[in-house]
Structure 1
Amino acid sequence: MSEVLERLTARVRACRICVDQPVGRPLPHEPRPVLRPSSSARILLASQAPGTKVHVSGMPFTDASGDRLRSWLGVSNEEFYDTEKFAIVPMGFCFPGQDAKGGDLPPRRECAPAWRAQLMALMPQIDLVLTIGGYAQAWHMGTTRAASLTDTVRNWRAVWDAPASPKVLPLPHPSWRNTGWLKKNPWFEMDLLPFLRSEIRYRIG
């Protein structure tokens, strides 16, 4: 990691804006920002926000969602956590808490405006962004994003062919709550995942 990116990452990991200057209600627990930027990885995982297990571990995707995501990508744990291969920068860096039904709240609104553009500017080598979920798609995809997540992901070929740099592939969140979505949309596993895996392998060897 470059010295400049390392310094910025340290500032992000020390961030308390969601407690000290919150937008809306403050974070209901101590902040623990989780991210793994990189100066050399060609692939960026633009994910949503840490869950409860990641909040404890301090490592992204150390949960069932991570197992499913690694399966989608066709990579091992070692490859996934190799910052020479993957940068992982979620839209919200801290676990946002849960709603009354036990589901995770949306990513905190403070994180992306405060930090995302700075981080992206220091990772110019990224040539593939995997936008995981609607929040990442809203930030990274602009007018190529459709009205719904399903339509956005279904439209992946047109998104890929758009004259954009870096390239973008939209994905649903790998939460096990989305198992029903996967059953309703078999084209995702039949068409998109083989293409995704080939692009991943092309970049990481």
Structure 2
Amino acid sequence: MERIDKLFEQIRACRLCETHLPLGPRPVIRGAESARLLIIGQAPGSRVHASGIPWDDPSGDRLRHWLGVDKATFYDESRIAIMPMGLCYPGKGKSGDLPPRPECAPTWHDKVLMSLPNIELTLLIGQYAQAYYLRDAARGSLTETVKCWDGYGPGWLPLPHPSPRNTLWLKKNPWFEQEVIPHLRQRVAPLLVRP
């Protein structure tokens, strides 16, 4: 545990893209070597930046509903690790938050993944995580990538972002809640059982 704690200290002290962050750096990351589920999302929003708690917003409420877990389980670092593509709030854009800063993933992700040896399932939430990790295996759109969820093997599961902004997407794609959510819950439940 000491190794990952030291890494997280380094990450939380990161100032690599400080000049680009409107609210300043506040890297948000959680996990422990024992975690078996990893959630890779986009980047903290302004509310998460303020609290320092990942998914501490309506998106997190929907994500926990999809997973079928309560807050206590979701925030149990010994079971679930959480690492966004961009570790700090990137600022507001015209139609929502800006994309994650491009420096974060290449600088920190491999080091974090090496410190999480027990991960059995990684949830790739949103287009940025899917593009980075699935690379050429990602389809032409997020919808097509998520539609092919069962083709990414046992280690990856692509999901749309659970933001309230995506409520229309969920209505247009009822197959997601009918097919993917039951599979997601079935995959996640055994990973959260304490040894």
Deviation, 1:125, is: 1.0
For structure 1, list consecutive stretches of 5 or more residues without a partner in the other structure. Answer: 21-25, 162-166
Deviation, 1:178, is: 0.3
In structure 2, distance between residues paired with 1:91 and 1:57: 18
Compute the RMSD of aligned alpha carbons: 1.2
- 4+ residue segments displaced more than 2 Å: none
> Which residue type is aligned with residue 177 of structure 2?
E
> Which residue type is aligned with residue 192 of structure 1?
V
Q: Is 2:133 aligned against 1:140?
A: yes
Q: Is 2:110 aligned against 1:117?
A: yes
> Which residue type is aligned with residue 4 of structure 2?
L
> Which residue type is aligned with residue 198 of structure 1?
Q
Residues 18-64 of structure 1, C-alpha deviation per residue, up to 9 Å, x if partnerless?
126xxxxx222211110102200100001110001101100001100
> Which residue type is aligned with residue 16 of structure 1?
R
Given candidates 159, 169, 177, the residue that maps to 2:152 is: 159
In structure 2, distance between residues paired with 1:61 and 1:203: 20
Given candidates 146, 168, 191, the residue that maps to 1:203 is: 191
Deviation, 1:145, is: 1.3
In structure 1, distance between residues paired with 2:31 and 2:134: 20
Deviation, 1:142, is: 3.0
Figure out how many residues of one structure are paired with residues of the other and give that number: 193
Other structure's SS at 1:141 match: helix
Match of 1:19 in 2: 18
Matching of residues 34-73 of structure 1 within 5 Å: 34-73=28-67
Other structure's SS at 2:39 match: strand
Deviation, 1:149, is: 0.5
In structure 2, distance between residues paired with 1:157 and 1:110: 30
In structure 1, distance between residues paired with 2:187 and 2:98: 32
Q: Is 2:137 aligned against 1:149?
A: no
Of 172-181 and 2-11, more deviation after overlay is shown by 2-11
For structure 2, list consecutive stretches of 5 or more residues without a partner in the other structure. Answer: none
In structure 2, distance between residues paired with 1:100 and 1:160: 36
